[in-house]
Amino acid sequence: MIEAMTVAVHSRRAGRRQRGLDGRAAKRHRVAGVAGTVLGGLVRRLLESLCLAVIVGALASSPLRAAVVVSSKLSSESAMIGEMIIMTLRAHGIAVVDRTRLGATPLVRKALLAGEIDLYVEYTGNGAFFFNAQGDPAWRDLDRGYALGARLDYDLNRIVWLAPARADNSWALAVRSDVARANRLGTMSDFARWVGAGGHVVLACSAEFANAGTLRSLERTYGFHLRPQQKIVLAGGETTAMIAAAAAGTDDVDVAMVYGTDGGILAANLVVLRDDRHDQPVYAPVPLVRAEVLARHPQIATLIAPLMASFDAATLRGLNARVQIDGESTSTVAADYLASRGLLH
């Protein structure tokens, strides 16, 4: 009986020892598995880092890295001018990477400052926002705004402003041509006279234009005031509906808010009223390029200068109309324009 009990006790102790050994073995196995997983992850990350370093090094020494990365904003005008620049540079033997239609102004500007792109077309008036200098009257004059922006951007960021176009894409008012002729309207001063004399004026504009200070600034500068019943305010900033309303006289609209180089202006037979007292900032297209890239390819400045000099507001309106109204691609319009002006030779 005692022997049987002793055997049973030893058997239970042996079982406990075995279970303990099994448990410790299992624990060691789990720990080893975790360690292996961690070590494997570290090894993989190390290999990935090494591969990435090799790839980056290869790209840095490759011909592709030496190419000029040309970008643009999303608008058809920005993309079209960007494509013209790409075609011009390639025609003269400069390797180019096409990154047009990259995004809105903040994204493209950030990419330029970070060195992710090398060149794109900006608008002079945006310098007021880049350098937090909205109150400086220089932005209301093309030459003064260009000079100020060029100096600030080079000093702060080593960004070079190349020669700008003599065109303005800022907010403006446009009237139907028959209304302009009948009331002798060519400038904003003429418009103020017409409003003050009780002329029939109904303006279609965006909420931003009406409420963010632009319209009030024009009213102060030129001494006129539009009553609420003289304004049809649309939520969005798309000018197509406003231009169409003025052209057709929809809801008695005879004046539309436009951008200076809108393609729809010509098709709708509207007359853009000149900002003769320079109330609004000038938004002239201007190519920006990193100084490092220009030092590597100094010919870029002389190659692009004739292209930018060929643009005025009427020319850009005509080119934009081919894209925005006629439905042609920006690439087709760009190639046709360069060929017609002999800018690829």
- Is 31 a residue whose pLDDT tops 80? no
Taking alpha carbons only, the member of 256, 263, 219 closest to residue 234 is 256
Q: What is the mean predicted confidence (pLDDT) over 52-76?
A: 65
- pLDDT tens track for 286-331: 999 999 999 999 999 999 999 999 999 999 999 999 999 999 999 9
Share of the chain above pLDDT 70, in %: 81
Share of the chain above pLDDT 90, in %: 77
- Is 66 a residue whose pLDDT tops 90? no
Residue predicted with more confidence, 29 or 144: 144
- Is 55 a residue whose pLDDT tops 70? no
Q: What is the mean predicted confidence (pLDDT) over 201-230?
A: 95
The per-residue pLDDT for 57 is 43
- pLDDT tens track for 260-290: 999 999 999 999 999 999 999 999 999 999 9
Give the pLDDT band (50/70/90) at residue 235.
Answer: confident
The per-residue pLDDT for 261 is 96
Q: pTM score, two decimals?
A: 0.77
- pLDDT tens track for 92-117: 999 999 999 999 999 999 999 999 99
- Is 78 a residue whose pLDDT tops 70? yes
Give the pLDDT band (50/70/90) at residue 345.
Answer: confident
Q: What is the mean predicted confidence (pLDDT) over 168-194?
A: 97
Distance between CA 43 and CA 55 in Å, rounded? 18
- Is 79 a residue whose pLDDT tops 60? yes
Q: Is 101 exposed, middle or buried (0-12, 13-18, 19+ CB in 10 A)?
A: middle
What average pLDDT does the structure give for the chain?
85
- pLDDT tens track for 39-54: 344 334 434 444 434 4
Residue predicted with more confidence, 124 or 40: 124
The per-residue pLDDT for 40 is 44
- Is 27 a residue whose pLDDT tops 50? no
Taking alpha carbons only, the member of 121, 38, 58 closest to residue 86 is 121
Q: Three-state SS string across the chain, please?
A: CHHHHHHHHHHHHHHHHHHHHHHHHHHHHHHHHHHHHHHHHHHHHHHHHHHHHHHHHHHHHCHHHHCEEEEEECCHHHHHHHHHHHHHHHHCCCCEEEEEEEECHHHHHHHHHCCCCCEEEEEHHHHHHHCCCCCCHHHHCHHHHHHHHHHHHHHHHCEEECCCCECCCCEEEEEEHHHHHHHCCCEHHHHHHHHHCCCCCCEEEEHHHHHCCHHHHHHHHHCCCCCHHHEEEECCCCCHHHHHHHHHCHHHCCEEEEECCCCHHHHCCEEECECCCCCCCCCCEEEEEEHHHHHHCCHHHHHHHHHHHCCEHHHHHHHHHHHHCCCCCHHHHHHHHHHHCCCCC
The per-residue pLDDT for 7 is 36
The per-residue pLDDT for 30 is 38
- pLDDT tens track for 244-260: 999 999 999 999 999 99
- Is 10 a residue whose pLDDT tops 80? no
Give the pLDDT band (50/70/90) at residue 65.
Answer: low
Distance between CA 271 and CA 263 in Å, rounded? 13
